[in-house]
């Protein structure tokens, strides 16, 4: 007969997060478009976040069981005392004199703060809050504020009071990373994996992975890899004695290389890197090789403070139409100000630097102020976004100023899980005909854009965007995008209907 006992162990409910991948912003998708289809980028980014944070059935069951345990407590929980756990098994032995216990057959140990160990044989001591599993153990953790953990391993020891433990020959998932290693050590403030690898590819033989002799993960701070190698399949790509990754969701170093093809650049390969000197001061590098232009790299020094974001930039930058512009160098300042208790935000921007494009060289100066209203709910799941701005652009090449007021009105709607659409009307003083540089500019000032997104299954989505010259009512651009998810890859195809050109991007899955 199956028996069940309950005992008290000291285990803190509040804990520290072991999130390995931070939030999804490090892998945020930005579309290249001149039809304003980027207003639907949130669909792709939300889907990536949902896929990355999806719970398995056993994780959902553990959360429910912990909730039921808490609901069925007879007395209020005393935070100064031990937290209840439930021990289940086909055969149980408990010695009240010294706290020793042994459980055999379908053993399941569940804590009130949503931790669970499963095995065929477990022993330990309730007085010193320890468990030991000499054979195989299955560990789950869904404790609020801590990492989501699913691990299989051997020779497990764990202390519920100190939140410390170890396992050997581990295989599973910690946070958003699949891991495998000879040994793992768990601490309240960190996780250490020895002689193992981490990857976001769930295949038995991952398409890509990072191996290291020791991987130290510090919650919401950093991950340090010692004697690190990065692999594509079974091919080592590069190695280093030590590399540190920031885990705040802003470190592009964790993004994997992307490859693609388009008419303007030919075949290309790109990768970006970030290195944090301090929490507010960082170095950023973007490396891209194209068969038509060779290297098109850029880098910057960024100081991000409460006063705003200060950035010194140098190198080649690409616009939505694959126009290349060189900044050598340029200074950029941006600041967003949210008015308290008002649905209004102000944006400040100033840029000055030496710009060149082809045979054109100019000292470029831009400054502007933007006022935006928070999204307005119109009913029927329609959202309205309004903004206006005043900007001035000066160029030494022609000594002309382009200045004036611009505005934008956007309506978008999520119809259901499959359909979404948008419509936008905008006006801007600057365009490619009155500007020195053709960089992220339309050839007209008054614009109407509209499009939609449609997902026909879990692996395929279509986005259509169109742009019209609102002054002449001419159709200027039509962009088609196809998103196709494979096991550990994502394929993105862009077809520009009016120009009859296509571009392809292939990337490792970023979730």
CATH number for 452: 2.40.160
Q: Please name which of 413, 443, 456 lies closest in space to residue 39, comparing C-alpha atoms.
A: 413
Model confidence pLDDT, tens digit, residues 57-72: 999 999 998 888 887 7
Record the tokens describing residue 286, joined without a space.
Answer: 């973007």
User: Under a CB-based contact definition with an 8 Å cutoff, are residues 151 and 138 in contact?
Assistant: yes
For residue 11, what pLDDT is reported?
A: 32
pTM for the full predicted model: 0.80
Instruction: Write out the residue range of the structural domain in which residue 347 sits.
Output: 311-511
Distances (CA, A) of 481 to 33, 318, 453, 498, 504: 10, 19, 9, 14, 10
Q: Please name which of 390, 389, 449, 456 lies closest in space to residue 418, comparing C-alpha atoms.
A: 456
User: Under a CB-based contact definition with an 8 Å cutoff, are residues 72 and 66 in contact?
Assistant: no
Record the tokens describing residue 106, joined without a space.
Answer: 């379908």
What distance in Å separates the CA atoms of residue 301 and residue 312, rounded to the nearest whole number? 5
In a domain, 438, yes or no: yes
Q: Computed over its alpha carbons, how large is the radius of gyration of the chain? A: 28
Instruction: Kindly tell me if the per-residue pLDDT of 7 is higher than 50.
Output: no
Record the tokens describing residue 186, joined without a space.
Answer: 């768990």
User: Under a CB-based contact definition with an 8 Å cutoff, are residues 368 and 394 in contact?
Assistant: no
Q: What b/e readout covers 231-252, taking b as 16+ CB neighbours within 10 angstroms?
A: beeeeeeeeeeebbbbbebbbb
User: Under a CB-based contact definition with an 8 Å cutoff, are residues 216 and 228 in contact?
Assistant: no
Please classify residue 479 by burial: count the beta carbons closer than 10 Å to its beta carbon, then call 0-12 exposed, 13-18 middle and 19+ buried. buried
User: Under a CB-based contact definition with an 8 Å cutoff, are residues 293 and 310 in contact?
Assistant: no
What distance in Å separates the CA atoms of residue 313 and residue 311, rounded to the nearest whole number? 6
In a domain, 509, yes or no: yes
Instruction: Kindly tell me if the per-residue pLDDT of 510 is higher than 80.
Output: no
Q: How does residue 190 score in pLDDT terms, banded at 50, 70 and 90?
A: confident
Q: What angle do CA 398, 360, 355 make, to 5 degrees?
A: 90
User: Under a CB-based contact definition with an 8 Å cutoff, are residues 449 and 424 in contact?
Assistant: yes
For residue 43, what pLDDT is reported?
A: 93
In a domain, 318, yes or no: yes
Model confidence pLDDT, tens digit, residues 204-230: 888 888 899 999 888 667 788 999 998
Model confidence pLDDT, tens digit, residues 414-467: 999 999 999 999 999 999 999 999 998 999 999 999 999 999 998 999 999 999
End-to-end CA distance of the chain: 44
Q: How does residue 236 score in pLDDT terms, banded at 50, 70 and 90?
A: confident
What distance in Å separates the CA atoms of residue 69 and residue 84, rounded to the nearest whole number? 9
For residue 443, what pLDDT is reported?
A: 92
Side-chain-side CA neighbours of residue 293 (13 Å): 24
Distances (CA, A) of 214 to 175, 200, 225, 261: 18, 18, 6, 37
Provide the sign of the torsion angle of the four alpha carbons 454, 456, 461, 465, taken in this order: negative
β-bridge partners, 507: 258, 490
β-bridge partners, 299: 285, 314
In a domain, 330, yes or no: yes
User: Under a CB-based contact definition with an 8 Å cutoff, are residues 36 and 411 in contact?
Assistant: no
What distance in Å separates the CA atoms of residue 253 and residue 243, rounded to the nearest whole number? 10
Q: Torsion angle, CA of 421/425/429/435, rounded to 10 degrees?
A: 40
* Residue given tokens 């160098």 in the structure block: 329
Distances (CA, A) of 504 to 48, 266, 294, 311, 336: 20, 10, 18, 31, 34
- Indicate the number of domains in the chain: 1
Beta carbons within 8 Å of 63's beta carbon, 6+ residues apart: 55, 114, 142
Over pLDDT 70: what percentage of the chain? Answer: 90
In a domain, 480, yes or no: yes
Top-confidence residue, 508 or 342 = 342
* Residue given tokens 């309004």 in the structure block: 386
In a domain, 454, yes or no: yes
For residue 192, what pLDDT is reported?
A: 93
In a domain, 432, yes or no: yes
In a domain, 324, yes or no: yes
Instruction: Kindly tell me if the per-residue pLDDT of 393 is higher than 50.
Output: yes
β-bridge partners, 344: 373
């Amino acid at each position: 007969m199956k028996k069940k006992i309950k005992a008290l162990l000291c285990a803190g409910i509040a804990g520290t997060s072991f999130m390995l991948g931070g939030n999804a912003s490090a892998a945020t998708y930005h579309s290249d478009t001149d039809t304003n289809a980027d207003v639907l980028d949130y669909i792709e980014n939300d889907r990536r976040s949902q896929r990355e944070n999806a719970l398995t059935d056993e994780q959902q069951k553990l959360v429910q069981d912990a909730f039921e345990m808490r609901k069925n407590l007879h007395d209020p929980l005393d935070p100064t005392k031990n937290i209840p756990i439930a021990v289940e098994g086909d055969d149980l032995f408990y010695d009240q004199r010294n706290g020793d216990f042994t459980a055999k057959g379908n053993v399941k140990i569940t804590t009130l703060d949503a931790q669970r160990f499963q095995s065929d044989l477990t022993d330990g001591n309730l007085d010193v809050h320890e468990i030991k599993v000499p054979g195989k153990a299955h560990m789950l953790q869904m404790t609020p504020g801590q990492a989501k953990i699913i691990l299989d391993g051997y020779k497990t020891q764990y202390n519920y009071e100190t939140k410390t433990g170890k396992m050997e020959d581990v295989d599973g998932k910690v946070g958003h990373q699949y891991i495998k290693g000879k040994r793992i050590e768990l601490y309240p403030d960190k996780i250490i994996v020895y002689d193992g690898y981490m990857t976001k590819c769930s295949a038995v033989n991952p398409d890509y992975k990072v191996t290291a002799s020791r991987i130290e993960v510090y919650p919401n701070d950093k991950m340090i890899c010692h004697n690190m190698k990065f692999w594509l399949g079974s091919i080592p790509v590069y190695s280093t004695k030590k590399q540190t990754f920031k885990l705040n969701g802003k470190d592009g170093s964790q993004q994997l290389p992307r490859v693609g093809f388009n008419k303007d650049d030919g075949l290309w390969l790109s990768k970006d890197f970030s290195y944090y000197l301090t929490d507010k001061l960082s170095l950023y590098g973007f490396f891209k090789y194209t068969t038509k232009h060779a290297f098109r790299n850029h880098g910057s020094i960024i100081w991000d403070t409460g006063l705003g974001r200060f950035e010194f930039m140098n190198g080649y930058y690409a616009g939505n139409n694959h126009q290349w512009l060189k900044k050598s160098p340029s200074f950029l300042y941006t600041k967003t100000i949210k008015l308290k208790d008002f649905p209004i935000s102000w944006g400040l921007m100033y840029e000055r630097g030496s710009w060149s494009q082809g045979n054109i060289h100019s000292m470029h100066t831009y400054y502007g102020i933007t006022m935006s209203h928070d999204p307005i709910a119109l009913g029927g799941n329609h959202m309205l976004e309004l903004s206006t701005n005043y900007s001035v652009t000066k160029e030494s090449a022609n000594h002309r100023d382009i200045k004036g007021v611009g505005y934008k009105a956007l309506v978008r709607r999520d119809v259901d899980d499959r359909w979404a659409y948008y419509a936008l009307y905008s006006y801007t003083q600057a365009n490619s005909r009155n500007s020195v540089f053709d960089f992220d500019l339309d050839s007209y000032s008054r614009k109407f854009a509209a499009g939609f997104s449609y997902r026909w299954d879990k692996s395929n989505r279509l986005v259509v965007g169109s742009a019209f010259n609102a002054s002449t009512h001419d159709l200027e651009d039509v962009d088609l995008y196809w998103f196709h998810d494979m096991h550990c890859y994502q394929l993105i195809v862009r077809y520009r209907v009016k120009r009859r050109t296509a571009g392809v991007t292939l990337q490792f899955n970023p979730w």
